[in-house]
Structure 1
Amino acid sequence: MNKIKGLLAALSLLTAPLAVAPGLTDPARAAESVIIGDLNSYTKLPAFSVPYKQGWELALDEINADGGVLGAPLVVVSRDDGGAPGEAVTAASELTAREGATVLMGTLLSNVGLAVSDFAQQRNVLFMAAEPLTDALVWEKGAPNTFRLRPGTYSQSLMLAREAAKLPAKRWATIAPNYEYGQSAVAAFKENLLKLRPDVEFVAEQWPALFKIDAGATTQALALAEPDAIFNVTFGGDLVKFVREGSLRGLFENRTVVSLLTGEPEWNAPLKDELPTGWIVTGYPPNKVDSPEHNTFREAYIDKFAEEPRMGSVVGYVTLKALAKAINQAQTTDVEALAESLRGLALDTPFGPIHFRAADHQSTLGTFVGLTAVENGAGTMTDWYYANGNDFLPSEEEAAKLRAAE
C-alpha cells in the first residue's frame, strides 16, 4: 500500500502545474495581477526546460521587485506541454480559460510551437514562442499574435554554412530528426552552403525518428556514403547515442562535423568528456562570456540557483523581460495593443541589445559559434564568437514576402 501511495504521489508531481505564481490560490490576488501562461516540455526535455523555467523565475523576481506590470504583480502560471501538440493545446486552453492568462509564452519543440501559435490566433491571445526554431512560426505560417525570441533554423544554419564553406570538404552527409525542426534545418543548411560553395554535393541523408534513433544503423549508413563532412541536427538523447556509436565506429575520424546546438550546455553536458572535440557548433559558453550585461545576469543566476546558467536560462529570462516591457509600454494586455507594442520593441539582454522586427515578429537575439572542447571533464566551446541575429536574417522586406497574409 505504501508503494502504491508513493507512486500516486510521484505521478501527481508530474501532472501538477509547474507554477511560480504568488497568490494563485487566492482569487482576489489573481484578479488584481497580470497573469502570463507558460507551457514547456518540462518532463519530456528537462535538460532545456528546467533552466528555461529558472531563467523566467529570476526575471519574475526582478520584475516584481521593480513594481511589476501595470502597477500590479506579474504572475506566471506554468503547465507541462508533454512535448506533444495535442497536450500543448489542452494546456494552453486551461491557462487561458481556467487560470485567466492573457498572454502565453514558451514551448520548445517546433511542432508544439506551431500548434500553440494556431491556438493563440483562434483564441485571440498573444503568444511569445521562446524556443521553437522552425521559421514557419515567423514566415510561412507567421501570425499577427505570434512572436519568436530565438534565432531560427535559417539563421543558425547560415551561421554554420558560412563556417562550413571555408572547409575543403566537398562531399556532405546530413543527419536530422524527421520532423519540422530537422527538416527545415537541413533544407536551410543545404540552400546556404550551395550558394556559398556550388562545388559541394550532398551524398547521404539520415532521418531518424525524434528520440528513437537507431544509432548503429544510422552511423553505418553515413559511413558507407564516405562523406568528407557531416551536418548534424540531433539533440538530447539522440545526440548522445549518435556520438557514442559514431565514436565507437570511427565515423568522426578525419571527418569534420558541423552541428546545430551541440555547443549548448543542455545538450553536451550528458556526454561529459565523451564530447568529440573540434566540431563546428552553435551554442553558449556561460563561464566565458565576459560583458557587463552578461556578468550581471550570470552572477544573479548563480546566486539564486547555485549553478551556471544554460541557454535555456537566457531564453526564459529574456522572454519574460520582453513581455513585461511590452505590457508596461502598451499599458494594457489587449492583444492588438500588445502586439503593436512588441513590433520594434528594443530590449537589453545578457547577450546585448536586441529588438523585435515589425515585419516578421522575429527578435534579433543571436547565439555563439565556435568549436567543441572538453575542459575539466565537461563539454564547452573554444574559438567562439557571438553571431548577432540581425546579421543572419533576410531583410524585413524579404521576410514580409515570406509571411502568410495576416
Structure 2
Amino acid sequence: MKTFLLAAALAVIGIAAHAQAPQPIKIAAPVDLSGAAADVGADALAGAQFAVEQINKRGGVLGRPVALEYRDSASNPQKGISQATGLLQEGAAMLLAPQSSASALAVSKAVAAKMKVPTCVGVSIADDLTMKDFNPYVYSVTPTSYMEGRAQAARFAKLPYKRYALLSADYSGARAGVNRFKEFLKALNPQVEFVVEEYPKFGATDYTASINKILAAKPDYVFSILFGTDLLTFSRQASALGFFQQINNRFISLYDFNTLKAMGSGAPVGTEGWERAPANQFSGHGSADAKAFVDAYKAKSGAYPSDWTIMTYDCVTTWAQAANIAKSIEPAAVMQAIETGEFSSPRGKYRFAKYDHQADVPVYFGKVQQDKAFGQPVLAIEETIPGTVSRPTEAVVQKTRRGE
C-alpha cells in the first residue's frame, strides 16, 4: 500500500511538473535545402539553428524556449507555400521566408499576408517584398536590390569606367538588382553604356557562351550578380579561359564567405566584390559582440558563418528581441515593436522603416585576397555604405506601390 501511495504521489508530481513546464514557441521555416538554392539554404538553416540555440541559452523568449521546425522546400515556390502553410497551422509564431526570391515572394503573398504571422526575409534581395508587394507582417534584414543597386552605383560613379558588361543569373531578385544598378548609375553618370547583357539560367553549368560574348564586347568593366554555386562554377570556367586576366580583373560580383572558401587557391584574387555580412570583417574589425558571435559560431560548427548564416541568424534574433520589447508574441504587437525598436546584430545596430519594414543594414565592398589568418580567400573590405544612405524614401516606396 505504501509503495502504491508513493508511486501515485510521484506520478502526480511528474504531471504537475510537466504541466508547469513552459511550452516551446515554434518558428517555422520552409528551407531551400535542395534545388538551385541548396547551398544558400543550408547556410541559412545553420544560422536559424544557431540563433535558437543562443536564445535558449539566454532563457528563451518571455521565459519560454524556442523550437525551430523546418522542411525542405526544394527551391520550389509552390512547395514553399504548402510547407509554410502547414507549419503555421501547427501553431508557429514566426515564419522564415525561403531563400530563393521566387519562393520568398510566393510565401509572402500567399501565406504571410493571409495568415498574419511575422515573416522574415533573410536572403532574398527582391525589392518587391518590401516595396511593390509589401504586406505589414513581413520584415527584411537583407539589403534589397534597390539598396544594393544604389550603393553600387554610388561607388562606380566615382570610377572612370564607361562601357559595362552585365552578367546575372536569370531570376527575379538578380534581374531587379541589375536594373537598379543600371538605373542609378545612368542617373549619376549619363555617359556610361551597357554593351552586353547576359542572363544564364539560375544553376547553369556552362558559362562559355556568356564568357565569349562578354570578351567580344570589350567592356571596361564587368558587373555581375552571381553568387554561391553559380559564381563558383562561372569563376572556375572563366579562370580556365583566362577571362579575368583579359579584363584586368575589372570584375565585381557577390562574394560570400563560404563561396570564397570553396574557391580556395583558385579564387580570382584582385577582383572586386560586395558582401552583406562578411565574417572576416566582423572578426577582425567589428565590435566585441560581433567578434564574440563569430568565435562562438566557429567553436560550435568548426567553420566561419557565411553571409546567409548571419542574416538568417539576424532574422530569428530580431523577432526574439521584438517579442521581448513587446512582452508578447502576438503578431501585431511584435510587428509594432519591429517598427519602433532598435535591434542588435553582428552587423551593428539597425532600425526598420515603418513604411516598408526594411532594416537599414549596410553593403560592404572590397577586393578578393588570400588571407593566412582565415586559411582561405576573403573579401578585404575597403568601403561600407550604410543602409541609412541606400534605402528608399517613403515617397519612392509609395510611388512604386502606385505603379508610377
For the aligned pair, the TM-score class normalised by the smaller chain equals 0.7 to 0.9
SS in 1 for 2:285: coil
Kindly report which structure 2 residues correspond to 1:39-188, keeping only aligned pairs within 5 A, or say none.
Answer: 39-44=30-35, 45-97=37-89, 99-118=90-109, 119-188=111-180
Offset at residue 385 of structure 1 (A): 3.1
> Does 1:301 pair with 2:297?
yes
| Runs of 4+, deviation exceeding 6 Å | 27-31
Give the aligned residue type for 1:137.
L
Corresponding residue of 1:370: 366
- 8 A contact 1:147–1:362 mirrored in 2: yes
Give the aligned residue type for 1:116.
V
- 8 A contact 1:37–1:104 mirrored in 2: yes
Cα distance in 2 between the residues matched to 1:285 and 1:61 = 19
Distance 1:80 1:38, change over 3 A: same
Question: Could you report, residue by residue, the CA deviation over 1:106-163 in whole angstroms, capped at 9, with x for unpaired residues?
Answer: 4211111101101211222221111111000000111111111111112122222222
Cα distance in 2 between the residues matched to 1:257 and 1:31 = 56
> Does 1:329 pair with 2:321?
no
Cα distance in 1 between the residues matched to 2:242 and 2:156 = 21
Corresponding residue of 2:15: none
Cα distance in 2 between the residues matched to 1:269 and 1:39 = 26
Question: Could you report, residue by residue, the CA deviation over 1:172-226 in whole angstroms, capped at 9, with x for unpaired residues?
Answer: 1101111101210110110111122111100111111111253111111111212
> Does 1:235 pair with 2:264?
no
Match of residue 395, structure 1, among 370, 382, 393: 393
SS in 2 for 1:343: helix
Question: Could you report, residue by residue, the CA deviation over 1:3-31 in whole angstroms, capped at 9, with x for unpaired residues?
Answer: xxxxxxxxxxxxxxxxxxxxxxxx97998
Give the aligned residue type for 1:259.
I
SS in 2 for 1:208: coil
Kindly report which structure 2 residues correspond to 1:247-258, keeping only aligned pairs within 5 A, or say none.
Answer: 247-252=239-244, 253-258=246-251
Superposed CA RMSD in Å reads: 2.3
Cα distance in 1 between the residues matched to 2:205 and 2:214 = 13
Offset at residue 258 of structure 1 (A): 4.2
Q: State the structure with more CA Rg.
A: 2
Corresponding residue of 1:19: none
SS in 1 for 2:305: coil
Cα distance in 1 between the residues matched to 2:70 and 2:19 = 19
SS in 2 for 1:139: coil
Offset at residue 46 of structure 1 (A): 4.4
Question: Could you report, residue by residue, the CA deviation over 1:84-106 in whole angstroms, capped at 9, with x for unpaired residues?
Answer: 10111111022112x32122114
TM-score (norm: length of structure 1) = 0.86
Offset at residue 255 of structure 1 (A): 4.0
- 8 A contact 2:168–2:200 mirrored in 1: yes
> Does 1:359 pair with 2:352?
no
Corresponding residue of 1:318: 314
Give the aligned residue type for 1:59.
A
Offset at residue 369 of structure 1 (A): 1.0
SS in 1 for 2:349: strand
- 8 A contact 1:139–1:404 mirrored in 2: no
Corresponding residue of 2:12: none
Distance 1:29 1:183, change over 3 A: farther
SS in 1 for 2:361: coil
Match of residue 207, structure 1, among 199, 202, 211: 199
Corresponding residue of 1:381: 379
Cα distance in 2 between the residues matched to 1:236 and 1:296 = 26
- Aligned pairs, number: 377
Question: Could you report, residue by residue, the CA deviation over 1:314-345 in whole angstroms, capped at 9, with x for unpaired residues?
Answer: 11221111111112222333322222221132
Corresponding residue of 1:18: none
Corresponding residue of 1:9: none
- 8 A contact 1:48–1:266 mirrored in 2: no
Cα distance in 2 between the residues matched to 1:330 and 1:290 = 29
- 8 A contact 2:27–2:96 mirrored in 1: yes
Distance 1:383 1:122, change over 3 A: closer
Q: Provide the identity percentage.
A: 26
Offset at residue 76 of structure 1 (A): 1.5
Corresponding residue of 2:214: 222
